[in-house]
Structure 1
C-alpha cells in the first residue's frame, strides 16, 4: 500500500512539474530590421521609483500638507538636462479609493547614469489656483510625455483630469522644474469641436541630432500622434495650439486601431515621443489586450504590452509597418502586482543617453521601471509565451 501511495504521489509531482514547465515555456521573439530593440531590464535595478509616504507637499487647493506620492508612482516621461537623465513621473496621493479617484501630480527625478535616481521631494506640475484649475482639479495632472526643442525649450504634454473629461494639456519650461501651463491643446481649431471630447496621450515627433533627441518638423510643421483607443494625429506651428488631422468628412482620421486577436486588441495608446529614422517614423505605443475572445490568448486579458508602428517619412499618416507581437511585456513581479494586477508595462519616456536607448515605463500603474537597448549589442526582445 505504501508503495502504491508513493508511486501515485510521484506521478502527481511529475504532472505538476510538466504543467509548470509548460506554463513557463517561451519561444524566441524576433524584431524586423526597422524596429528598436530588444530592450533589457538591468539586473537588480527595477523598480527605479516607488511610492514614498514620507514626502509631503502643501497642496494649494486644499491648503493642507498631503503625501503627494504616497500611494503610487508610475507612467514617466524622460529627457536629458545638463548631461543627466530627468524623469518626470506621475504620482498619486491617498485621497481616493480607486484608479481615477485620487489626485495626481508630476514629480521630478534625475540621474547621472540613467538607472539610479534622486528625487526632488516635491512635485513640479500640479493642480493650483490658476487658470487651469477647471481642467485639473480634483483629478490632477497625469501621464506626461516630454521633448525638447533645438533651442532648449522643454515641452510637456499631459492629461488634465477634472474627473469629468480628460484633456490633453501642454506646458513649457526651460529647466524642467518651473512650468508655464498653456491649457488644452485643441481649442483653437474647428471651432473647438475636438476640445471637449476625451483626448489623451500625445507623442510628439522627434529626431536624433548631435546625439540628442529634439523636436522635429515635417514639411514645415510640428507633428504629433495622440490617442488612447485609436491613434490620431495633429499638427502645429507653435507647439501650443494643435490642429487635429481629419478625414474627408471632417472627423478625426484613424491611423491605427485595435486588431482582433492581437496583443493590442482592446486599445492602442501612444507612448513616448515618436522618432524619425532612415526607415520611417517609429511610433511606440501601448497595446491593451482584450479580455474576451477577441484578444491574444498568450497574454493576460486587460494586460498592457508595448508595440511599435512604422509610418512613412513622406506621409506621416501612412502606416508601412507594425509589430505583430509586443517587444516588451509584463514579466517581472513588479509589473504584475500593485494597482493593476493584470500586468502593465506602460511606456512613456525614451532618451538616447551614452549611445544607448533608455526606455522608462509604468509598472502595473504602481512604480517606474527602466529597460535599455544597446544598438551596438542588441539583446533579444521579450520572448513570447508558448501557445
Structure 2
C-alpha cells in the first residue's frame, strides 16, 4: 500500500496537567474523549488517575482563544468505577474513554475500558448531555461460525464507534465498531497461551471491526453493546508500529473516505499491566473506504506525531503520544492526545496540498 495520507499534525501546546490539589489527579490526567454539549461548548472527558492507579472520567470545558484551544475549566467527575465489572479485589477503573455523537439517535456513545476482576474490558455508556451517563454494559460478541474462538474471552481495548450507518455483513445497515483484541490468554489466566483465531498469521494486537444492526440499535440502544461479524482491518506494518497498533479517536469523514488516527508502538513489553515497560507510542493515520470501513485505502508511512517534547517524553509512561479525540473549532480541526500518560496535549490537523 503506497498511497500517501495527505494529512499532517502540528503540536500546539500542553492543554491540561494534573491539579496538585485534586486527589483524583494524583497520578495524571490523560487520554480524553470529547464532545459538544447542549450549550454548544466543547468539552473534554479526560481520564483522571488517582493514587493506586484508580481511574475516573472527568469533564472539562475547553477554553478557546484566537481560534485555538488554550486551556480547560474543570467541571468534576462524570463516570467512576461503581459496578463489579469495573472493580477488582486490588484494582478499579473507568479508563481511556472515546466518544462518538450519533445524530440519528441524539446520543453521545462512550466506549471506555472497565478495569475489573479479570483485567481490562471494553464497556459502553450513552448520554445526551455529556454529564449523565447510562451504562450499556460490557462489550459482547455473538458467536461467529467463521471464527474458531470466543472473542469474549480476550481483552479488547481501543474501541471506537463510527458515527454513521455503514453496510455490515451481507450488506445489512449497521453501526460499526473498531477495536483491538489481544490474543494472549495468559494475561487473564495464568498458564494459558497465545490463542489467535484460525487464519490469523500475525498475533500482534491489531485493529478489528465488528457490527451492530442499525435497526436493532434504533429499537434499543443497548444493542450497540452486542457485536457480530468481527474481522481484521489492519495489522502492524511499519517499523514504528512493530509491537502493536490501535485506533485513536472515532473515524471522521474527509474527502477521501474515513480518516482514522491511530497509535503505533515499539519497544519491549515485559508486563502488560505495568507502567515500567520500555515502549514508544507514535501517532499515524489511515484512510478507510467510505462505504466499507473494513478496507484500508492508505496509511501513513511515517508517524504524524512522535514524542519529542519534555511532556511527551517524561511522565507515568515515557515517550507516549496517544491521540483519542478530534474536534472542529472555528473551522479548523484539532486533535487531543495523551502525553506520557500524565498530561493532555493538543495538535492541529491540516490537509497537505
Task: Spell out the pairing of 1:158-237 with structure 2 (5 A cutoff).
Answer: 158-162=112-116, 164-190=118-144, 193-205=150-162, 215-219=163-167, 220-227=173-180, 229-236=205-212, 237=214
Q: Does 1:242 align with 2:226?
A: yes
Q: Residue 306 of structure 2 aligns with which residue?
A: 329
Query: 8 Å contact 1:93–1:103 — kept in the other structure?
Result: yes
Are residues 357 and 226 of structure 1, via their aligned partners in 2, closer, same or farther at CA, if it must alter by over 3 Å?
same
Is residue 101 of structure 2 the alignment partner of residue 148 of structure 1? yes
Name the counterpart of 2:21: 54
1:40 lines up with 2:10 in the alignment: yes
Structure of greater Rg? 1
Please, what is the CA RMSD of the aligned residues? 2.5
94, 106, 124: which is aligned to 2:78?
A: 124
Residue 257 of structure 1: CA displacement? Answer: 1.1
User: What is the aligned partner in structure 1 of residue 235 from structure 2?
Assistant: 257
Segments of structure 2 that go 5 or more residues without pairing to the other structure are 168-172, 182-204, 270-277
Q: Could you tell me which residue of structure 2 aligns to residue 282 of structure 1?
A: 259
**C-alpha deviations, 1:162-211, integer Å up to 9, x for none?**
15231110000111111101111215555993223101111222xxxxxx
> Are 1:111 and 2:62 an aligned pair?
yes
Corresponding position of 1:87? 44
Q: Which is worse superposed, 193-202 or 283-292?
A: 283-292
Whether 1:340 aligns to 2:288 is: no
Superposition deviation, residue 34 in structure 1 = 4.5
* Counterparts of 2:345 and 2:140, CA distance in 1: 31
SS of the residue corresponding to residue 40 of structure 1 reads strand
Residue 70 of structure 1 deviates from its aligned partner by: 1.6
Residues 333 and 258 of structure 1, relative CA distance in 2, 3 Å threshold = same
Task: Specify which of 280, 300, 305 is matched with residue 303 of structure 1.
Answer: 280
- 8 Å contact 1:233–1:244 — kept in the other structure? no
- Contact residue 137 and residue 225 of structure 2 kept, 8 A: no
Higher strand share: 2
Q: Does the 8 Å contact 1:72/1:366 carry over to 2?
A: yes
Instruction: Give yes or no for the alignment of 1:75 onto 2:26.
Output: no
Aligned residue pairs, count: 298
**Alpha-carbon deviation of 1:35?**
3.4
Equivalent residue of 2:336, what SS?
strand
2:190 match: none
Aligned to 2:341: 365
Unaligned runs of 5+ in 1: 1-30, 56-66, 97-101, 206-214, 247-252, 293-300, 380-387
Distance change (3 Å), C-alpha of 1:244 and 1:201 = farther
Distance 2:291 2:210 in 1: 16
Calculate the TM-score normalised by the size of structure 2: 0.78
Deviation at 1:282, TM superposition (A): 1.9
In structure 1, the residue matched to 2:197 is none
- Structure 1's 115 and 244: CA in aligned 2 closer, same or farther, altered over 3 A? farther
Equivalent residue of 1:52, what SS? Answer: coil
